[in-house]
Structure 1
């Protein structure tokens, strides 16, 4: 997908109702038309509406769409831009899916759909009020959106940020056309989780602090972070991994207001750039590291039904599996597994598992059956870990091979590198 496509789809996306309020110092909520004393600069401050008692919000429950308010006050920033042509699904789908995962989407990390897509949709309800607690000047509602796109095949991540669905309710003596919202992005590098000499190139524009009218007319903007590489060094043991966190702080202000302090660390996005080579599928790429990765297999899938049943028993009915011991449990459902790429250690796991199969079933050569092992030989939780929390079972050979193919596909489709975590889910 291109960033142009992402932008065009985002601009077309349907805005949803937000909830964020700005209280400013003026009249008490019970008397919102009383003219306040705002002679002292900084005497007012934006606070979250949820932090105020209900009686202080009385009368501030009639939001006006900003475009309507601005036209009535002669503002020139009233036109909402829109896409000229329709485009199909991917980014628009992400936006729609994000809206349908409202609880996760409003979290600091947003809703992380996959290793390559994430979305935050966070509603705000702010109130601008006198810091002495005696008057309120108005209320501001809006939605913050951040769509994140990482790329399999490119050391790059894009964020499409926007402020949308702006609504206001100022008192008559307060001019909401002078209110501002700011998004301020920054990044850090976790050196201890990165390979030597980690670098990130940040976008030229990292902050946008605008009047409400400017946001209303041009809601979206795009930030691109990249990490330079030095060519293929993976054969030398350097995968050029860079662990980075992108953070956004939100601000809200008016001419007489002190800084809003509730928007610090408003958004977090943990990403990893790598140039891991063929073990990762595409030789280089970027992922959202907090995405939950699952290998999903079905007991109704004739290609892998025996593999799926074996894993299901290991996870949920371990008493049916070998080796057998009281209180046995096997990781993968609640406890993650972790990929192992050292071929020598993988082979060692397989030899141990085959030995266990022979202890239980004897010589099975010529039967067409193979020794299936779980956790997989290509994980750190394999049979040689030493805790006996594994299972072996003879299953049909083609089924066993197909299960291994599904595992390899999951690794490459999700850029699962050595030590990366994933879970296993077996459906009926």
Structure 2
């Protein structure tokens, strides 16, 4: 597939057409489609993309709604999800018209080899940071989630040690899934992860009527009889509102997985993949909005930045809450192999280029990445803070800046055309969100200290 991609890129340079209008051909050449008799189904691709979109970030959206208001949150979520879908549209448009099937090679076409290296390094930093953070969460939370079902005092069992549990999970769950050669094979685990997220949303809705308002300080004493504490706000503007757009932007980041999923899609045309992206983003939007709304209507202004912590306070040892905590951790676990796929692809692109598939290179790159990620999760105590700054910049680049910048560089359309104007808007929004994200993280660090 790599050689065919290179040949199509050369051919596209000699027969280059202005970008715009209807799609002209499927992404994969006919000979590749003959070999790949049937690729991933529409549903499998949609589940994979939803798994790439949704992660532990869903736990923080109710907090964002508390600091923006119901209407403010809904409008911002709609805008950010629409921008994410549009940036995917630009990427697919570039792939369709140039025959390129890789984010890294798009960077090379736009800015030669430095562009390819820049994109590959950005993907690596972003995905390694995300995987390390997810494994860090598993190390911290999985032992407590397991022991909560056993109703016993800590006894030093192996499953109560986060590091031991993390190593076993990585070896027996993450590694076998990460070694799969095609992303299509992860469709089943991605559908399971989506069901876990759906279960979380349903529980948040159900538990809305299990916690009284005003919220009790403990099981018997209420905070006050002032019903204003239980009045939902439509619009809220405060210093904490600055967290909204960065949090939402990261919640819809899936662009490193879009093109690998596109390549393995059955009948891979731009329109079909755009429909996959639209369905995935829409379903993620619905789950985000419902879980954030009912989480906010449960705790109002007192909602915790990590939603499940509020349930631990007011519904201790609730079976549904304990079950949903375990479900979220399993969903995070099943996201790691999917994030690993584009990271491994970037490593291979940097060191091997677009050569034929090799099991040796495949396995070595897989072991290298997972070992690095595991070491970071085990030995770096503030891993989420370390990758906060780096992640905010790389996420913004992959979601907004690169799609807009590459389109303006590669496209021959006039700057006043609709797509070119949209690309300029993405570029500007990306720079603003990136600076805003850095400021938010720095301010939170200062306040924390």
Do they superpose with TM above 0.5?
A: no
- Identify the structure with the greater strand proportion: 1
TM-score by length of 1: 0.21
Larger helix proportion, structure 1 or 2?
2
Higher relative CO (CA 8 A, sep ≥ 6), structure 1 or 2?
Answer: 2
> Quick check: which has more Rg, 1 or 2?
1
What TM-score do the two structures reach when normalised by structure 2?
0.20
